[in-house]
Amino acid sequence: MRQLMLILLLVVLWAPFAFAGLCKPVNIESRHTREAENLEGESFATAVSSLDGTADYIGSRSYNAHVLACNRKRDTMGKKIEREIGSDHVFAGSLDARLVKGHYNYFGNIITQQKYMYRLERVSGNWIVTIPAEFHFPELKLAKYLDITMPLAQRLGIDTTICATTVKSKGKTTRGLVPKSVSNGIWVFDTCRVDRDETFTVNGQSKDIKDWYMEYWKELIQSHWSRAGFELRFQAVNLGEVDAGDLATYNKEGIVWHVRLNMNANVIPRYKSNPFFLHPIYSGIDPAGVVHEFGHVLGLDDEYPSTECVPLGGADYIMCDAFSLGGDNQKGVYPWIVTRRYMGGKAL
């Protein structure tokens, strides 16, 4: 029933409001083209990916201008940014921490506005973005188990053992392979079901599966979004990584990302809950999906549909193609958007 209602809601919202005139070529002004040119000089754009040595963080200038223009239109802070800083604005090399919060409005209506929130500071020319995250493991369904993506299973050394076959009990999968055929085809990797309280040992280190899970997310997000000039710090509240004093402030200001996981491979991931999906992310989400969804936490909007963004030049952009996970797909235009918002942030 809930899914049916969501479908109805999406149909109602999508049809009249899709893009809602927020993302038309006519919105690309000279300042966006100028900013797209300027961002090419930033170290986060000229950097080399430490993951795979690729170095095309710049991408396409015209596509970057398009992304910038769209984001400013959709960002509740967009007008303020464009009023207060020019396209040639240069930030000081060291800046005190601020909390940046806002919403971006993909459809042009208030109901589907998505919140973004992060801590932003700059030290010796390097931007630092901190995101405190609290994981909520699936409680509604299959609460004794946890589905994990196969690359994580591989890391735990169980991909060819536990995860190679499916164990069923009374028609229900209780352990092992959860083939991607049961999903709607959006997952690249199969997933593997393990016990929620299981302990796994890797290189002599034994840890609870939940800890391995959270550490995997942290590493995925940090390694894909960080590069020279732009450091991403993902701090898991559950792992005790957030200083108690900071946590009180983050909670008060509402900047903790609540990662609410589910056990339904058929649910298309959304980074944040809504009344229809209280737990909107499948725990077995692909690595690329984690990195893409995280882009939304940074206030980056979808550049979908791919039939529109790919021809414009977005093929290697993580917010256009959510399934490509090359080392440099987190293009320089994204840190540019994220850091321009410093002037709208609130002092810590």
- In the bound state, the residue with its beta carbon closest to Zn ion is 302
Whose Cβ is closer to Zn ion: residue 7's or residue 248's? Answer: 7
Whose Cβ is closer to Zn ion: residue 192's or residue 322's? Answer: 322
Whose Cβ is closer to Zn ion: residue 248's or residue 268's? Answer: 268
**Are 242 and 235 spatial neighbours (Cβ–Cβ below 8 Å)?**
yes
Whose Cβ is closer to Zn ion: residue 116's or residue 250's? Answer: 116
Whose Cβ is closer to Zn ion: residue 77's or residue 320's? Answer: 320
Least distance in angstroms from the C-beta of 160 to Zn ion = 32
Distance between CA atoms of 315 and 245, rounded to whole angstroms?
Answer: 42
CA-to-CA separations, 170 to 3, 143, 151, 167, 173, in angstroms, rounded = 25, 17, 28, 10, 8
Whose Cβ is closer to Zn ion: residue 289's or residue 345's? Answer: 289
Binding site for Zn ion (CB under 5 A): 302
One DSSP character per residue, 25-58 reads GGG--HHHHHHHHHGGGSHHHH---TTT-----S
Least distance in angstroms from the C-beta of 76 to Zn ion = 18
Least distance in angstroms from the C-beta of 289 to Zn ion = 9
Distance between CA atoms of 276 and 341, rounded to whole angstroms?
Answer: 30
Residues in the chain: 348
Least distance in angstroms from the C-beta of 185 to Zn ion = 17
Least distance in angstroms from the C-beta of 293 to Zn ion = 6
Least distance in angstroms from the C-beta of 79 to Zn ion = 23
Cis bond upstream, residue 305 (ω within 30): yes
The amino acid occupying position 279 is H
The residues near 101 (Cβ < 8 Å, ≥ 6 apart) are 115, 116, 117, 253, 254, 255, 345, 346
**Are 187 and 286 spatial neighbours (Cβ–Cβ below 8 Å)?**
yes
One DSSP character per residue, 49-64 reads -TTT-----S--HHHH
Least distance in angstroms from the C-beta of 187 to Zn ion = 15
Whose Cβ is closer to Zn ion: residue 35's or residue 302's? Answer: 302
